[in-house]
Amino acid sequence: MQNDNAKPISISKQLVYDAFLRVKANRGSAGIDRVTLEDYEKDLRCNLYKLWNRMSSGSYFPPSVKLVEIPKSAGGKRPLGIPTVSDRIAQMAIVMLITPNIEPCFHEDSYAYRPHRSAHDAVNKARERCWGYAWVLDMDISKFFDTIDHELLLRALKRHTQEKWILMYIKRWLKVPYEKPDGSRIDRALGVPQGSVIGPVLANLFLHYTFDKWMEKTFPRIPFERYADDTICHCHSLKQAEYLQAKIQQRFENCKLHLNEEKTKIVYCKSSRRKESYSNVTFDFLGFTFQPRESIDKQGNRFTGFLPAISQKSMKRINETIHSWHLNRHSNQTLEHLAADINPIVRGWMTYYGKFYPTRLKRFMQTLNGRLARWVMCKFERYRNRFYPAQEWLAHIAEKEGLIFYHWKCGVLPRFTNKDKVKSQLIMVK
């Protein structure tokens, strides 16, 4: 698999194949052509050759992006663009080419879409800094992905690649229209489609120059954590936070972005050693709520710390998902079958939200045990309309037959369980 030197654009066939492997690993649904990954693989060699041939000749034009609108927790809808499988592979190939030149330039406090960095890293760093800084500026950029200016984005991109064909294809992806289910199209002159493969690296690059580098130059002593467009800044005083907010708002307007004034706020990191009074003492960041919480130090003394735990919005989403399973309608299944179906999802919740202040998550996950008790009530006639006896039956299963549900292994046991009997099977979620 070598380059075809007769082509005007030098793209390796191996690169296209490697891009396919990454797209396959990420999975994803079909685009407007309704071709799934499984369909694409049926004639993989031919499909990849066609894509390589078009890209290396400069004649590749991306098809419309399938528009899916996702409801927001706060109301309204978030537009999600789903490219075709072939287009995702083409985008991935370009991402693989430009990332090595862009990644080393990113700021150490930028965490999204980067290797060996995670949302947990950002939350943990925010937690540490809230101990040392009493004030936080919690920023919200209004419709960030939909309002990125193409001219400014391309100007930033040209600092990292001079390949005209790469810039040409990225321009085409930026302008590709959304296509609705009824076949109508929405032209785009701004923004990067959420759901695209190349969108994250472009959005990250835009905010790198709009915010990260500007902060480094203008406010070098004010630390921040940024995960895509979710950003918090740490300040020593209310006056400093107010000044910073005004300057950031001005900077964003110069870069054709806008702070959402209703959601952007200054927060006081209240704790046992901070006695000031302020209206806002809580903020959300990456699915966690930071607020004053009771803690115990190494000597066993109780104190109030400013700590993250699973947010109310996250719990609401989890609760909606649990409701959507309608477990009581699956009384024909065994408990083991239910566990096999839901454990992968529950494992994700426990792993992510159990990282910080896990006791709040564990208390909330008793909701799932309640749903399982209702399953017991539907399955067995003797437990019909008898909720607490159904809980006792689940506790008996946990003690005698093992912790078959993942949240049980994490210590979220059914009520009435004798924890001493199952202690050796528990996973400690820290």
Using alpha carbons, select from 194, 193, 232 the residue that is nearest to residue 111. Answer: 232
What kind and span of H or E run contains 179?
strand 178-179
Which amino acid would we find at residue 272?
A: S
Residue span(s) of the chain under CATH 3.30.70.270 come to 11-266
Pairing of strands 178-179, 302-310: unpaired
Residue 6's pLDDT is 65
With a CB cutoff of 8 Å and minimum separation 6, the contacts of 118 are: 111
Per-residue pLDDT tens listing for the chain (430 residues): 444 556 788 899 999 999 999 999 999 899 999 999 999 999 999 999 999 999 999 999 999 999 988 877 666 677 888 999 999 999 999 999 999 999 999 999 999 999 999 999 999 999 999 999 999 999 999 999 999 999 999 999 999 998 999 999 999 999 999 988 888 898 989 999 888 999 999 999 999 999 999 999 999 999 999 999 999 999 999 999 999 999 999 999 999 999 999 999 999 999 988 988 999 999 999 999 999 999 887 888 888 999 999 999 999 999 999 999 999 899 899 999 999 999 999 999 999 999 999 999 999 999 999 999 999 999 998 989 889 999 999 999 998 888 999 999 999 999 877 767 666 667 766 5
Contacts for 300 with CB less than 8 Å, ≥ 6 apart? none
Place of tokens 């701004």: 190
- Pairwise CA distance, residues 215 & 343, whole Å: 43
Helix segments in 5-118, DSSP class H: 13-26, 37-41, 44-57, 85-102
Quick one: angle between helices 387-400 and 366-379, nearest 10? 100
Closest CA to 369 of 347, 394, 345: 394
424 DSSP assignment? G
Residue owning tokens 């409701």: 323
Which tens digits make up the pLDDT trace of 366-403?
A: 999 999 999 999 999 898 988 999 999 999 999 888 89
- Report yes or no: 289 and 310 within 8 Å, Cβ to Cβ: yes
CA–CA separation, 403 vs 425, rounded Å?
7
Q: For residue 397, how many other CB atoms are within 10 A of its CB?
A: 19
Give SS3 for 423. Answer: helix
| Beta-strand pair 178-179/65-71 | parallel
Write out the two tokens for 394: 């689940």
Q: Which residues contact 377 (CB under 8 A, 6 or more apart)?
A: 328, 383, 384, 385, 386, 387, 390
Question: What pLDDT is attached to residue 429?
Answer: 63
Domain 11-266 falls in which CATH fold?
Alpha-Beta Plaits (3.30.70)
